[in-house]
């Protein structure tokens, strides 16, 4: 089986959307868990948790939509799709998921095949 | 129709939805209680949880109505080969102008060319026979 599935411009955009959302939610979650929660527990300072927590909650909604779109485009099997969706709620996991999906995308799109005349747009026959 | 709503995949989706939507409703109600208790941030979350419930319903709808032959590993296989699935329906190519599709088309064209050439050879052989008979 040839594993390459040439990516359409819409797929590239879906990947970019996902990467932006994955990094944004991941950074907010890391701030929330490793700065907000300690401040809440030891300093009783709630403002980081209240602001960053709300931002992460709503951005995670957008992340869900974008991740669902991309995993469908990349034909990610259902159990992995669920893990990618949940990755936005575990610190660092969204970054791992972003790496894996970007690699899968590059793998599926394949390298530009310069040796093939078809790649250069030569007509068939 | 039966397989759409009662396949293993669909039943799992129904179960997940049956847990998810009431869970979101409970969480939203809990946040409404917090908001009514005087913390305004509760209103923000009491809007967010119903959104999660709606998203769950949308995902459930997609899972039930998607053709499993176009998703996952099977979907990838049919997309790159354009092969017919088990029901005999041909699975639409993800991108008709894809490189793989063109390679396949070229291979088919070569087969047609080869068949033409064989027909030409056999016609030559037939002509040779008549020539020998003379």
For residue A97, is it within any domain? yes
Structural domain includes residue B82: no
For residue A1, is it within any domain? no
Please count the CA atoms within 13 angstroms of the CA of B54 that sit on its side-chain side: 9
Residues in A touching B41 (Cβ below 8 Å): 50, 54
Final residue of a structural domain among B20, B45, B66:
B66
Mean per-residue pLDDT, B98-127: 71
> Which pLDDT belongs to residue B129?
55
Q: What is the pLDDT, as a whole number, of residue A15?
A: 94
Does residue B92 have a pLDDT over 60?
Answer: no
Please, what is the average pLDDT of chain A?
85
> Is residue A16 domain-resident?
yes
pLDDT at residue A23 is higher than 70: yes
Q: Do residues B61 and B117 both lie within one domain?
A: no
Res B55: pLDDT: 95
Contacts of A57 in chain B (CB under 8 A): 44-45, 48
Q: Please give the residue range of the domain that contains residue B124.
A: 97-134
pTM reported for the whole predicted model: 0.71
CB contact under 8 A, A76 and B51: no
Number of domains in chain B: 2
The answer as to whether B80 is a domain residue is no
User: Do residues B99 and A119 make contact, with C-beta atoms less than 8 angstroms apart?
Assistant: yes
Q: Contact A105/A59 with Cβ under 8 angstroms? A: no
How far, in Å, CA of B123 to CA of B59, rounded?
61
The pLDDT value recorded for residue B90 is 43
- Structural domain count of chain A: 1
For residue B83, is it within any domain? Answer: no
In a domain, B77, yes or no: no
Last residue of one domain, picked from the residues B66, B88, B121:
B66
Over 60: is that where the pLDDT of B38 sits? yes
- 8 Å CB contact between A125 and B109: yes
Q: Is B48 on the interface with A (CB under 8 A)?
A: yes
* Closest Cα in chain A, distance from residue B127 (Å): 29
- Domain residues for the domain of A60 are 9-107
Domain boundary among B66, B81, B109: B66
The pLDDT > 70 percentage for chain A reads 82
* pLDDT of B22 over the 60 cut: yes
């Amino acid at each position: 089986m040839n594993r390459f599935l040439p990516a359409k411009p819409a797929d590239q955009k879906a990947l970019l959307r996902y990467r932006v959302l994955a990094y944004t939610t991941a950074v907010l979650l890391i701030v929330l868990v490793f700065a907000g929660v300690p401040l809440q527990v030891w300093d009783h300072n709630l403002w980081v948790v209240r602001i960053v927590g709300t931002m992460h909650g709503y951005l995670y909604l957008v992340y869900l939509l974008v991740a669902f779109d991309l995993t469908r485009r990349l034909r990610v099997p259902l159990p992995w799709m669920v893990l990618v969706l949940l990755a936005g709620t575990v610190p660092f996991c969204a970054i791992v998921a972003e790496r894996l999906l970007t690699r899968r995308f590059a793998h599926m799109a394949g390298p530009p095949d310069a040796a093939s005349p078809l790649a250069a747009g030569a007509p068939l026959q | 129709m039966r397989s759409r709503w009662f396949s293993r995949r669909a039943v799992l989706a129904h179960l997940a939805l049956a847990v998810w939507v009431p869970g979101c409703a409970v969480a939203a109600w809990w946040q409404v209680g917090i908001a009514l208790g005087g913390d305004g941030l509760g209103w923000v979350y009491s809007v967010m949880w119903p959104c999660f419930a709606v998203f769950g319903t949308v995902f459930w709808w997609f899972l039930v109505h998607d053709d499993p032959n176009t998703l996952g590993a099977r979907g990838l296989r049919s997309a790159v080969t354009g092969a017919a699935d088990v029901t005999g329906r041909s699975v639409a190519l993800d991108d008709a102008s894809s490189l793989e599709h063109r390679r396949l088309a070229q291979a088919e064209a070569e087969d047609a060319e080869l068949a033409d050439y064989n027909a030409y050879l056999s016609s030559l052989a037939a002509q040779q026979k008549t020539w020998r008979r003379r």
